Amino acid sequence: MIVTDHQDSLVSVAVFGEFTLADYKEFEELVNFKVKFEGPVNLFFDLRQMADVTLDTALEEIRFSKAHANDFERIAVITESQWVTWSAWLSRAFVDASIRVFSDEAEAKAWLAEQDVI
């Protein structure tokens, strides 16, 4: 099960239990809407309560990431799982975004709120 939220250019997702393809499709619809009307977005994934991810969800994540390679600015992932950390690192191959893994929610949200100075 997932819980989603969005505000301005931020999409937040918290996963509880198993992360299924239906959950991922819900996330995709929200991101597609935000990107269409607002441009690139930041993503906040809270995966601390995720118990498992289905294979079809993992494959969809790769497909979606490749199709939206330039639609994300920053991606913050909260987890204490080494496997999820490795997966986030691997995702860098598919998206042109800054990706960081955090164990602290406040730090993740502060990083997402920072403005890049050019």
CATH number of the domain enclosing 54: 3.40.50.10600
Range of the domain at 54: 11-113
Residue from 33, 34, 32, 42 nearest 10 by CA: 42
Residue 29 inside a domain? The answer is: yes
Query: How do residues 65-88 score in pLDDT, each as one tens digit?
Result: 889 999 999 999 998 887 776 676
Residue 6 inside a domain? The answer is: no
Residue from 98, 89, 100, 96 nearest 71 by CA: 96
Tokens of 97: 């975004």
Residue 91 inside a domain? The answer is: yes
Tokens of 28: 């995709």
pLDDT score of 10 more than 70: yes
Cα separation, 10 vs 86, whole angstroms: 23
Q: How many domains does the chain have?
A: 1
Indicate the average pLDDT of the chain.
88
Residue 20 inside a domain? The answer is: yes
Give the rounded percent of residues in the chain with a pLDDT score beyond 90: 62
Residue in the block written with tokens 């099960």: 1
Q: Residues in the chain, how many?
A: 118
Residue 86 confidence (pLDDT): 61
H-only helix segments in 9-104: 21-38, 55-67, 82-91
Residue 1 inside a domain? The answer is: no
